[in-house]
Amino acid sequence: MQQYYDKINETARIIQSYITEHTPEFAIILGSGLSKLEDEVEVISEIKYQNIPNFPKSTVSGHKGKLIYGKIQNRYVLMMAGRVHYYEGYSMQEVTFPIRVFAQLGIKRLILSNASGGVNPNFSIGDVMIIRDHINLFPEHPLRGKNLDLYGVRFPDMSKPYSHAMIAELEKIAQENNIKVQKGVYVGLQGPSFETPAEYGMVRILGGDAVGMSTVPEVIVARHQLMEVCALSVITDLGGPEISPDVSHEEVLNAANIAMPNVILLVKNLIKNYK
């Protein structure tokens, strides 16, 4: 356990050396195909994951693998341009390691984005869904093992995993800018295969609106540390027992590009307006 604390502290010290001005108010994690958000950052410094000790390295196309410190709308942010996933072979502690480091750096708010498959029949490809809740179906829990008492309690409350205030602000921004947004439940599965029609159907029966292979572990660890969290999910494909479209990673990235302007507008204005 002490070794894990030491790794967090070591990594935080290295990243801190790149934070030359103000502590970031927001940490941002970019999901598949959402890398254009990084163009909105007024960059002060950046560092590749491979040059950060103990930091997991992204192996998936569409995930660049660098940490960017800078400003969006004149507020300081620390952005992960590319995340790592459980399906890449990392443990849950490794997947969520960056979230531990963010807390060590004093960051209080986390914004996540991802690409997901929609199972709600009212959804369309290219929709942006504000995640209001999630269902964790990963085979390993990120808090399994000895509790990190310095960061949070053994049994953290998950009654409000996603900030109601941040969700309300996103909905207000969407309304003011005439952006169609959905709101729903995200189901996290291990991957890396896309879901079968029956699995999409299972997700819908369980109460999910969209399904993906990320986000849930990071949110759990962020809430363990009492970080305020919000997440946006781009619906990049649709599935269910009655529809079985062919899905490829390239199609997911293309659909993410369609939704990108709306995601950028929502995130920029949330950062600008949220107090």
Query: Is residue 259 very low, low, confident or very high in pLDDT (cuts 50, 70, 90)?
Result: confident
9-35 tens-digit pLDDT: 999 999 999 998 899 999 999 886 667
Mean pLDDT across 2-13: 92
pLDDT of residue 108: 97
Between CA 265 and CA 96 the distance in angstroms is: 27
Q: Which residues pair with 136 in a beta bridge?
A: 188
Q: State the chain's mean pLDDT as an integer.
A: 91
Q: Does 127 have pLDDT greater than 60?
A: yes
Between CA 266 and CA 269 the distance in angstroms is: 5
97-117 tens-digit pLDDT: 999 999 999 999 999 999 899
156-207 tens-digit pLDDT: 999 999 999 999 999 999 999 999 999 999 999 999 998 988 999 999 999 9
Strands 75-81, 26-29: pairing is parallel
Query: Is residue 258 very low, low, confident or very high in pLDDT (cuts 50, 70, 90)?
Result: confident
- Give the percent of the chain with pLDDT over 70: 92
Mean pLDDT across 140-150: 94
pLDDT of residue 245: 58
Q: Residue type at 21? A: E
Q: Does 131 have pLDDT greater than 70?
A: yes
Between CA 41 and CA 105 the distance in angstroms is: 19
Contact 119, 239 (CB under 8 A): yes
Q: Does 77 have pLDDT greater than 90?
A: yes
Contact 89, 191 (CB under 8 A): no
The DSSP annotation for 127-165 comes to: -EEEEEEEEE--SS-TT-SS--TTT--SS---SSSS-HH
The secondary structure of residue 167, as a DSSP letter, is H
Query: Is residue 246 very low, low, confident or very high in pLDDT (cuts 50, 70, 90)?
Result: low
